[in-house]
Structure 1
Amino acid sequence: MFRQIVKDYALIDPIASSQLLPAGDSASPKELIFHILKDNAADVEVLDIGFGRGALGELIKGTPQTAHWSVDGVDGFEGACNHPALFERKIYRNIWHGLAQGVPSDRFARYDIICLLDVIEHLTADTARWLLRTLLTSMGDNSFLFISTPLWFYPQHSQQSGDLEEHLIGVPATSMMALLPVMYAMNPPLIGGFVLTKRSLDFIEFFQPTADRSFSYQRGMLIANAVNFQCVPGKFFKLL
């Protein structure tokens, strides 16, 4: 199922009354989004996949330099798409209820920045590889993919029926650095945020998540240090 809930800031197809509420919040270094573009004053289109409680949208719209940006959201959890308080604040221009895998691929080319913050670890390894390849293939030539994920198997389980919160994979730092990000940052506990461009598609075969639940924080740190991933919270690193 993939249907539009909000169009041009107006609720058009409300979900039936539900007791489910968005509870999780991404631990990613969201502020990295302000450093991606050369000119934040330009008209910018952002797609927030797995927007949850809307923290990224609120950050963008609550910052004077980016308040004019247009932010669209996609989420597969019913509770996230039944959030009148968020919709009334007109944070998200358009919202669709559905999984990222259900987004028509031609839609991705419309956006300057596609955000996949703390989402990919909720997918199977095969689906994660497919989605990353699809996003990089379908996005515009001058667009950016902002992706964040724990760089270890961060144990997390579902809290509500259908909330999609369970973690299914861990992503080693080698997988993300091998995609040649143009910049990155880190938040504790070893949550990496990476900005990718179309050139990452040439290295997609090196994106190798694992379903091994013994891939601990300590093992993740060892790998991060081995590939010179800078584990400095609050600092942004530009590679090109």
Structure 2
Amino acid sequence: MLRQIVKDYAVVDPIVNSTLQPGGESASPKELIFHIMQDNAAKVEVLDIGFGKGNLGEMIKANAQTAHWSVDGVDGFEGSCNHPALFERKIYRNVWHGLAQAVPSDKFAKYDIICLLDVIEHMTADTARWLLRTLLTSMGDNAFLFVSTPLWFYPQHSQQSGDLEEHLIGVPASSMMALIPIMYAMNHPLIGGFVLGKRSLEFIEFFQPTSDKGFSYERGLFVANAINFQCVPGKLFKLG
């Protein structure tokens, strides 16, 4: 179930009496967002799933070329939706409290870019596969899915009650590259960011994350090197 917290930049249903703090600091190469559209001056609708502290929205609004973009956010953690300082700055147009799985699939079709930054590793393998398939199926033909995730089983546990921060899976670089991304970049320590188009739906069966906690950074790097994944932090690679 989704609960709308912000509507058209105004808080409509505030979360009160909560001691939980905004969470979800992403280590992904977020700067990829500025290279996705052919024309950043165009009207662009962005959905930020798992927006956490709102860093992606802040980055978009701070850039003169993209400040006019409309950014909506969904987050399943109460603390992230209890962030009046962020909402007062009118970074996010609409905000919903709830899991991505609860978003009606027809909502995804309105967005030009759907962002899933450091989110899928917090899901089970089956849920992650389901969500990627649903997003790719539901988004528009000319839309993009921006996904980031550690390319190994990055150990992380909960910090606050219900914060969804625990990592449940690791995603090999081979699994993401098999989705035929349009472009990708990497941040240390082996955090990959990938922009997918509609064509990636044809290859979704090759997305195979692992729940093996022994899938270490070294093993992830070995897989990345084996498929010639370019492990150059901060560099953008366009694949067409």
Q: Could you tell me the TM-score, scaled by structure 2's length?
A: 0.99
Partner of 2:203: 203
Cα distance in 2 for residues equivalent to 1:144 and 1:79: 28
Give the conservation status (yes or no) of the 8 Å contact 2:24–2:50: no
Cα distance in 2 for residues equivalent to 1:121 and 1:152: 10
Is 1:127 the equivalent of 2:127? yes
- Shift >3 Å, 4+ stretches: none
Alignment of 1:16-27 (within 5 A): 16-27=16-27
Alignment of 1:28-43 (within 5 A): 28-43=28-43
Report how far residue 17 of structure 1 moved: 1.6
Q: SS where residue 181 of structure 1 aligns?
A: coil
Count of aligned pairs between the two proteins: 240
Partner of 2:71: 71
Cα distance in 2 for residues equivalent to 1:24 and 1:95: 15
Cα distance in 2 for residues equivalent to 1:83 and 1:17: 12
Partner of 1:89: 89
Cα distance in 2 for residues equivalent to 1:156 and 1:78: 19
Q: SS where residue 140 of structure 2 aligns?
A: coil
Partner of 1:164: 164
Report how far residue 123 of structure 1 moved: 0.2
Cα distance in 2 for residues equivalent to 1:64 and 1:114: 21
Report how far residue 24 of structure 1 moved: 3.0
Q: SS where residue 80 of structure 1 aligns?
A: helix
**Deviations 1:131-180 (Å, cap 9, x if unpaired)?**
00000000000000000000000000000000000000000001000000
Cα distance in 2 for residues equivalent to 1:17 and 1:212: 38
Cα distance in 2 for residues equivalent to 1:60 and 1:222: 34
Cα distance in 1 for residues equivalent to 2:23 and 2:125: 24
Matched residue type, 1:152: W
Cα distance in 2 for residues equivalent to 1:110 and 1:23: 27
Cα distance in 1 for residues equivalent to 2:97 and 2:168: 21
Partner of 1:234: 234
Partner of 2:60: 60
Q: SS where residue 199 of structure 2 aligns?
A: helix
Partner of 1:116: 116
Per mean C-alpha deviation after superposition, the further-off stretch among 163-172 and 12-21 is: 12-21
Matched residue type, 1:226: A
Report how far residue 234 of structure 1 moved: 1.0
Report how far residue 22 of structure 1 moved: 1.4
Cα distance in 2 for residues equivalent to 1:133 and 1:66: 28
Cα distance in 2 for residues equivalent to 1:233 and 1:40: 24
Matched residue type, 2:141: D
Is 1:99 the equivalent of 2:99? yes
Percent identical = 82
Report how far residue 16 of structure 1 moved: 2.3
Please provide the CA RMSD for this pair: 0.5
Report how far residue 23 of structure 1 moved: 3.0
Per mean C-alpha deviation after superposition, the further-off stretch among 70-79 and 19-28 is: 19-28
Which sections of structure 2, spanning at least 5 residues, go unmatched?
Answer: none
**Deviations 1:172-212 (Å, cap 9, x if unpaired)?**
00100000000000000000000000100000000000000
